[in-house]
Amino acid sequence: MLQVHASRLSPGGKKPDGFLSKLLPPGSLKRKLVLRIGIPLLSLFVVYWFMDNVVMMMVTRHGEEFTLPDYTNQTVLEAQLSLDNLGLEYKVASEEFSPGKAKGLILNQFPLPGTKVKSGRVIKFVISAGQKLIPIPFLGGKSVRQAMLDLETAGLTLGEIAWAFSDTLPERVVVFSYPAAGTEIPMGSPVNLMVNRGRASNFTYMPNVVGLTLTDAIARLEDKSLKLGIVTYRTDENYLPETVLEQSEAEGTELDAGTEIDLVVSTTE
């Protein structure tokens, strides 16, 4: 006798239609478009998402940013210890003369302090080349006024003026400077002059007394055989009381000994 077996197959051996078969019937245009276009696009999107959110995060070390320290006023050797600990590198971009800054100190950096950076970043430094040295120009044989102009052009200033009396040297000209011509000194430094007055006479030169206290200014005038003239007071809270603000004769002016010099002096009243 034949036994009857239950079967999940429908008559004719057909499988039951699935969910996608209802949405995308076999052989339909919609099914062909999804298979040929939709699935490749979906694959590209998955690949893009993986590259952007997984691979790129690993390459750029996302989340490893830290604040860049301030390395200015440190030497490169001092900064390098910190840079090595942070996994950073450095490059000297340029060197600049900097008055008051020792040679080798870091003046500026890029990126700026406080910037968020990551390990492996190259930090660029501007390094101090120290104080710029200026050779003293040759001033012998020039007038005091011309010597002052030459010093100013060179980036130096006039210091003290002393004079000699000689009949064998040209009169009223600079005999020599001290320090001597050709000596290299820091920019802005004073240069003293020795000036020949010819025969002994009663001439002198006006010193600079602006910025001195009145007491010190009087002492300097007397040292140059000059006298104090009229003192005018002017209220100026930017200076301490009894500070000389103006003088009636310019520095380096040739004057007769005993000439009276008028001064303008500060007061807070």
pLDDT in tens, 246-265: 999 998 888 888 899 999 99
Expressed as residue numbers, the domain containing 177 is: 132-201
- Mark whether 239 and 184 lie in a shared domain: no
Give the number of residues written for the chain. 269
* H helix intervals, the chain: 19-23, 29-33, 39-50, 56-59, 76-86, 144-154, 214-223
Pairing of strands 260-267, 244-247: antiparallel
Q: Is the dihedral of CA 65, 67, 72, 78 positive or negative?
A: negative
The pLDDT score that the predictor gives to residue 18 is 52
196 with 207, same domain? Answer: no
Q: Is residue 249 part of a domain?
A: yes
**2 in a domain, yes or no?**
no
Q: How many domains does the chain have?
A: 3
pLDDT value at residue 1: 43
The answer as to whether 7 is a domain residue is: no
Could you write out the three-class secondary structure of 97-135?
Answer: CCCCCCCCEEEEEECCCCCEECCCCEEEEEEECCCCEEE
Greater model confidence, 47 or 83: 83
Examine residue 17 and state whether it is found in any structural domain, yes or no. Answer: no
Provide the 10 A C-beta neighbour count for residue 218: 19
Q: Is residue 36 part of a domain?
A: no
The owner of tokens 């390098």 is 80
Phi, psi (rounded to 5 degrees) for 244? -75, 125
CATH number of the domain enclosing 174? 3.30.10.20
128, 145, 169: which is the final residue of a domain?
Answer: 128
Mean pLDDT of 138-157: 91
- Asked if the structure places residue 145 within a domain, the reply is yes
Q: What is the mean pLDDT of the chain?
A: 82
The answer to whether residue 114 sits within a structural domain is yes
Whether residues 121 and 164 share a domain: the answer is no
Structural domain ending residue among the three candidates 150, 171, 201: 201
Please check whether residues 141 and 179 belong to one and the same domain: yes
**pTM for the model:** 0.43
- Whether the pLDDT of residue 57 is over 90: the answer is no
User: Quick check: is 121 in a domain?
Assistant: yes
* Per-residue pLDDT at 146: 92
Is the Cα dihedral 205, 206, 208, 212 positive or negative? Answer: positive
Mean pLDDT on 211-218: 94
**Residues 119 and 136 reside in one and the same domain:** no
In the numeric block, which tokens belong to residue 222? 């007397």
Reading phi first (left if > 0) and then psi (alpha if -120 to 50, else beta), residue 105 is in beta
